[in-house]
Amino acid sequence: MRGGKINELCSSMYSKEQHDSLCDFGKSVNFINEWKCHILRCENQEIAKQNFVQNLTEDSLFIVMDWAMKFLQRRFREKQCDWYAKRGIDWHVNCAITIDGKGYFFVSFYNHLFNSCSEDWFSVLSILESLLITVRSSNPKVKKAYLKSDEAGSYHNSQLIVAARDVGERVGVSLQRYDFSEPQSGKDVCDSILCPLKGAIRRYCNESHDVLTASDVHMALKERPVQGCTAAVCRVNETKKDLDIKKLQQFSAMHDFLYQQDGLIVWKTFQVGPGKLIPWDEIYIKHQGGTDLTTEQENFGFTPTVTHGSAHDSGDAESSCELGLVLECPEPACARTFKSVEEMELHISVGQHTESVCDKLKRGWVEKFSPLTLSEDDSTNVIERQGSEPFQSNLSEGWALNKPNGGAVRFLEKVRQYLTSKFEIGEQSGRREDPRQVSQDMRKAKG
């Protein structure tokens, strides 16, 4: 039992504070279990991405969305006074993955730049509508779209989920699914392109240019283009926000959404359970109209972009090595090799990693010999084959699902007075207390 040994030795401890300090190991156990749950949810949500990629057709599109960190203004020769109070430039990245009839993937990156923008659901909806219109103009075959993003507040909200359906119907692209990834996972394809984009802007700035506005960022990316990327300077029309819906109960626990004609099917996690159907009549009060996202000037719109192409599968590692290929996938479990850096980057973006021969042999060995065991007579060393018994687990159902956050807990009056006294000491002496040390001292404080 957790803490049983510590309670047995309680009489030999010299203080109750020592006993309470040792009992903190229970928090460490909870943190380890939460980390295991996080890893399991990451892997499960990654299956959603692979499912989309494997089922892509010529008329479908897979989109990964992410708000990039605001780009700080840069000057070619910067004074010290200009280093302070810089205004960030809002930057949104969309990764669009398509496939042609021959099984070649194409990855394009669309960057929406804003001089001033509220990073809310309506801004994301405006960007999504602009993106679908742009993709449809270059590839009229696209009629279906799959969406994926992280769980930031601008994405994971009922307004965006519902309004995206209206945008798709108006543009002519039917939304199929919207799945959310775990924190710090799932949007690496967007993060990976930001480094070369910012490098291109820095090179442009080092050539005697100032980058102070979104138009300057667009000019930098136009003068120093990055393969597969395009950008536009946009402005959100907040007056077009007219959506009105009913509140969805327990929305924070929903992470996967399937759009159907009769309603919205929701799941707590991908492919776990039959899902729950919410009819559209129980959601809508007023539909969302056009967002009318506009570009700042005519010359600051999207430019034709060059995308990467790669075969659906180039074979195992052995056949690739016969061709003299030297570039290997950085994923440890993947056995793919490539002729060029561009092919390897596209493979990483798509994420279809192949299993190595060594891993296949290990899995086959486990499947074949795991039911075998030694007999009770150790002298004969006879191996008997056990029957296939179902695996028994002591874990409760749904143990890895996101747990609802508890409400805010107010400090006790004595705790508040103790912290206030520490704050006043810092104000009077000019030496502020260290928060870590205060938390440790508060555990030992009497009264």
Same domain? For 336 and 293 the reply is no
pLDDT band at 187 (very low <50, low <70, confident <90, very high): confident
pLDDT computed for residue 318 by the predictor: 41
Determine the average pLDDT of the residues in 293-303.
Answer: 71
Pull the structure tokens for residue 125. 């909806």
pLDDT computed for residue 14 by the predictor: 59
Tally of domains within the chain: 2
382-437 tens-digit pLDDT: 445 555 555 566 777 788 887 766 667 788 888 888 889 889 988 888 888 888 88
pLDDT computed for residue 329 by the predictor: 74
Within-domain flag for 2: no
Q: Say whether 298 sits in a helix, a strand or coil.
A: helix
pLDDT computed for residue 372 by the predictor: 62
Same domain? For 187 and 286 the reply is yes
Within-domain flag for 321: yes
Within-domain flag for 440: no
pLDDT at 338 over 80: no
Q: How far is CA 185 from CA 46, 132, 189, 286, 287, in A?
A: 8, 24, 10, 34, 32
- Reference 148, options 272, 256, 291, 278; nearest CA is 256
Same domain? For 193 and 108 the reply is yes
Q: What residue numbers bound the domain in which 342 lies? A: 313-384
pLDDT at 248 over 70: yes
Same domain? For 306 and 379 the reply is no
Same domain? For 156 and 265 the reply is yes
- Reference 195, options 308, 68, 74; nearest CA is 68
pLDDT band at 2 (very low <50, low <70, confident <90, very high): low
pLDDT computed for residue 129 by the predictor: 92
Q: Which residue has the tokens 């994301």?
A: 124
Same domain? For 76 and 197 the reply is yes
> Among 61-70, 129-138, 296-305, 329-338, which stretch is predicted with the lowest mean pLDDT?
296-305
pLDDT computed for residue 113 by the predictor: 92
Q: How far is CA 98 from CA 109, 130, 198, 265, 435, in A?
A: 12, 17, 25, 25, 51
269 neighbors 45 (Cβ within 8 angstroms): yes
Answer with the one of 258, 276, 310 that is the final residue of a domain: 310
Determine the average pLDDT of the residues in 31-43.
Answer: 88
Between 307 and 284, name the one with better pLDDT. 284
What are the b/e assignments for 352-369, b being 16+ CB within 10 Å?
bbbebeeeeeeeeeeeee
Q: What DSSP character marks residue 393?
A: -
Determine the average pLDDT of the residues in 90-97.
Answer: 91
Other CB atoms closer than 10 Å to residue 414's CB: what's the count?
11
Same domain? For 320 and 305 the reply is no
Answer with the one of 384, 406, 436 that is the final residue of a domain: 384
Q: How far is CA 309 from CA 94, 97, 188, 222, 343, in A?
A: 18, 10, 19, 22, 8
Pull the structure tokens for residue 403. 């747990």
Determine the average pLDDT of the residues in 141-169.
Answer: 90
Find how far residue 11's CA is from the centre of its chain. Answer: 50
Determine the average pLDDT of the residues in 265-293.
Answer: 89
pLDDT computed for residue 387 by the predictor: 52
pLDDT band at 320 (very low <50, low <70, confident <90, very high): very low
Between 440 and 437, name the one with better pLDDT. 437
Q: How far is CA 26 from CA 11, 13, 29, 426, 444, in A?
A: 20, 19, 5, 33, 19
Same domain? For 226 and 323 the reply is no
Same domain? For 179 and 237 the reply is yes
Same domain? For 215 and 329 the reply is no
69 neighbors 75 (Cβ within 8 angstroms): no
pLDDT at 312 over 50: no
pLDDT band at 321 (very low <50, low <70, confident <90, very high): very low
Answer with the one of 362, 384, 406 that is the final residue of a domain: 384
Within-domain flag for 360: yes
Q: Which of 50-54, 362-366, 371-375 has the highest mean pLDDT?
A: 50-54
pLDDT at 309 over 60: no
pLDDT computed for residue 99 by the predictor: 86
Determine the average pLDDT of the residues in 273-294.
Answer: 89
> Among 154-163, 308-317, 396-405, 410-419, which stretch is predicted with the lowest mean pLDDT?
308-317
Determine the average pLDDT of the residues in 135-143.
Answer: 88
| Amino acid letter for position 358 | C
Same domain? For 130 and 222 the reply is yes
pLDDT computed for residue 220 by the predictor: 92
First to last CA, the chain: 31
193-241 tens-digit pLDDT: 888 899 999 999 999 899 998 999 999 998 998 888 889 999 998 888 8
Within-domain flag for 444: no
Average pLDDT, the chain: 80
